[in-house]
Structure 1
Amino acid sequence: MNTVARTITDAEWAETRRAGLAVGAQLARDAGGVEGVLLGYQKRLLRSTSEHAVTICEKSRRIGATWGVASDAALTAAAVKSAGGMDVFYIGYNKEMAREFIDVCGMWAKSFEQAASEVQEFVFDDGDPDSNIQAFRIRFASGFEIIALPSRPRSLRGMQGFVILDEAAFHDDLDAMMKAALALLMWGGRVLVISTHYGVANAFNKLIEDARAGRKPYHVEKYDFDDALKDGLYQRICLVTGKEWSPEAEAKWRAEIVASYGDDADEELFCVPSEGGGIYLARALIEARMVLDAPVLRLSRPAEFTFLPKEHREADILAWCKEHLEPLLKKLDPERQHAFGQDFARNLDLSVLLPIEIGKTLRRTVPFWIEMSNIPFEQQKQVLFYLCDGLPRFVGGKMDASGNGAYLAEVAAQKYGPLRIEQVKMSTEWYLENFPPLKGAFEEGSILLPKDADGIDDLATVQTIKGVPRVPDVRTKGADGKKRHGDLAIALVLAYAQTRSDLIEFAYRPASPEALPEENGIFGDQEGDGMWRTPLGARLRGGI
């Protein structure tokens, strides 16, 4: 018999939440408060946050660690300043987490019989007149309050108190959130960073590694699924749900939970950040292919460069190309075919331009790549054309034509012809088709790249999300402090895909720049010149 799932109403959901909070409140009253109701690992976490300015907690999923932290938040905000009281700022990565945390804090406040307001929803002012940030709070008679804020660094500007960053691995910019939170330590604040893992390349795992290596003065706590079970997690579940506990029942339940997570159990339950499950390319594998002592060219200009006169911008970039790019182009093997890929960005991320060589044994080699930051559209075009004109046996490229990248991809196709330049609209289907061959090249050792730490980080961000390898919507920070979004990974998969395409070579190359058609359109701009010009390279020689 087929059944149709019924959508739960808001009223039913609210009633379910009230029932759950009521059970927690009853437990707190019956057990005599925090010491009686909290399990061992929850108590240890609270002791850690009281003894250390910054505590990092890596944990199993759904063991109630944050539920225990809410009791600490309620006690902290309810206390007067002389007793260590202060404001508490909770920051999750979505609105639902914020509301749930505030609800639990309200439950604890009532259990402690502290004078506190009802949960209030309000518009938080972070100083940006264009923002409309929904937040939640509870006010206490002590004068302090618990506020649940969005994951935006400026939300903490000018604040003072205890900051809780929940599920930190899933915040868009954990580095920026940490920078904002740490500012609160100067006047006696505290910071708790708590999360399950989300891969070895994630900023949360790097934070833990820095702390354990002594590079950061942070205290680390770890509570995995078995730690929680030993401290009575399943016994507590049985108490709440009315089931009978026994060692045999717990063992069976544990096995079922572990099996339900499958390959993700290590990361989700046992605090082992994934290397090859969610992470698509293992860092060790990437490093094994980064063997070339070759440069990474980084081109950046200040904001005012965009508004310099055209001739100044062009002269500046031309000089840069001749000094940095031309010597590398001259070193390329004139007998081998060359292609490229580009991941375009204008402001927020990096624009990466990556040439690739097809070797005699079909091994692909990336001789160098170019990272452009805050470079105007026209000057990115200038660098792109300089590269393409200098690549021996140029067989084309694939370019990210999503968003603003569509302009550069289009003018490149106009100059070099649509047979050589593919304007790619990135999609799940495209990723599914083109990432696996690239991964195979890494595994077979048929691709080589320059050694670069930021490049490793970019490639390691690729994850399998709902069965599709792609770069998640999480930004990292490079050695130069600039934000990165897996930019090299996208440029590389585009370039490698081009080397697997039907490659076309052309019969001629202009003898001098003066022989090129005008760059300002396919129609001449000289007086009387109304003839349509055939795109450069329209005469075919053949392909492979």
Structure 2
Amino acid sequence: MSAPLSRDDWERIRRASMQAFPKVLDGLPADGVLLSYQQELFQAVSSHALVATDKSRRVGATWGIGAAAVLFSGAERSAGGMDTLYIGYNLDMAREFIDTCAMWARAFNQACSEVGEFLFAEQDAGGAEKHIQAFRIRFASGFEIVALSSRPRSLRGRQGFVILDEFAFHDDAAELLKAAMALLIWGGRVLVISTHNGVDNPFNELLTEIRSGKRPGAVVRVTFDDALEQGLYQRICLVTGKTWSPQAEADWRDQIRRIYGSAADEELDCIPSMGTGVYLTTAQIEAATHAAPVLRLTCPAGFELLPEAQRIAYVNDWLSEHADPVLKTLDKTLRHSYGFDFARSGDLSVFLPVAQGQDLVRRVPFSIELRNVPFKQQEQLLYYVVDRLPRFHAGKHDARGNGQYLAEVAQQKYGQRIEAVMLSQSWYLDNTPKLKTRIEEQTFLLPADADVVSDVRQLRLVRGIPMVPDKATTRGADGGQRHGDTAIAAVLANAASEADVTEYDYRPAGSAGAALPGGSGTGGFWRPDHSRDGRENDREGLL
């Protein structure tokens, strides 16, 4: 992953972006008062019972969510109205949030009382009653916004929309979250807002659980640069009376980053500290393995220059000897998917199929590793194997660089069940945690092979993103270079197994109704015209 952009790079990008700069109306962007990420957060809390947002410092997330609080608490019960319970970790945060809500209430013409202070009563751990200074706005709807400065146990007896601000910095964040979750039972909502405070903090654990699918909810991520791209500094200039320009924004951005220094990763870029270690331990990976073969094909130097017929025959012979015996053992009642991490020279191409059992466990029945295999022979092998996967469901390809060719021809042959994935930080962030959870729970079983385990161990948290670092190269048992290739294929394969695609079956015209071997295809060897035994593949063009 690349380092943050330099000051000059930022100015150049922002100057270029002016070509698509939105129209300005009365000093504000025509698309609304809220910036894009504030709108996204607003929409998320309207659509999901649980939302978490990891954000940069001072980007206005809480200011924007004040609008949602006013709309929730200003609405009648029949329209989804409810109390809003805001909990920050100090009194100043509570007062600031109430002032923000009062501003939104005036803007929305919501009938409400003036901001009022009161003493919120609760019992301490010993049962003694104590009083906490709090702030409140009451609405004509009968609901109210209450802002507190600590974590009252009395939250357990309330109902409504809970906002836990700077959650990672509360004294007992885990217990506070447990208390807030109870409000969901009767239709409440929970929003957790925070900057990161370490990789082992309950806040980062919550984000990981939501991203991995272990806990239902939504995540909205807003880095400092995200906020700038969406107009944060322009809004600051509007409020402070300064003149915005790409140069001024670049200077200001550079100044802020220098002020934060080494803390910028966590404070501005949503990267939890101590987040560059091993993502999965050897023990965790080995516990999620089973007996399955790893088939390895290495073509000799100069193989790509041999005549086409000779190359095809060589690979067909290898497939007949090594792949066919394994393919014939596949359970024809199970759904099969695959992930394909592509390489042409240096690293490996890895084809990783997965069979989803009746118990929902994903098992890799075999793996194929290709070294120095020409493009056309990788295509040949792909068609041969996929045509024999029972109940073929979906495949996902690494489509970066030269991998785009193989992904494209796979899409042409198998249609919408194939996705050409341009592996990116956001894609890894969305999909790698899901594989991690499955490995931890032993519901994704890999081949018990030393090189496979070593590959998966290459997954790291790189600037907060779980991925294989660019320079993470190792040597396999054959002495060849590896770059976590199986790990990437596994993330793709797991994502393919979870893909929402339509299954279908067919019988070729003129058949007597007998099921095809493996659930698809017509048997035989691959030929240069992409047909088999000289006949067009019956699946061609159906999707």
TM-score tier after normalising by the smaller chain length: 0.3 to 0.5
In the superposition, the TM-score normalised over structure 1's length comes to 0.45
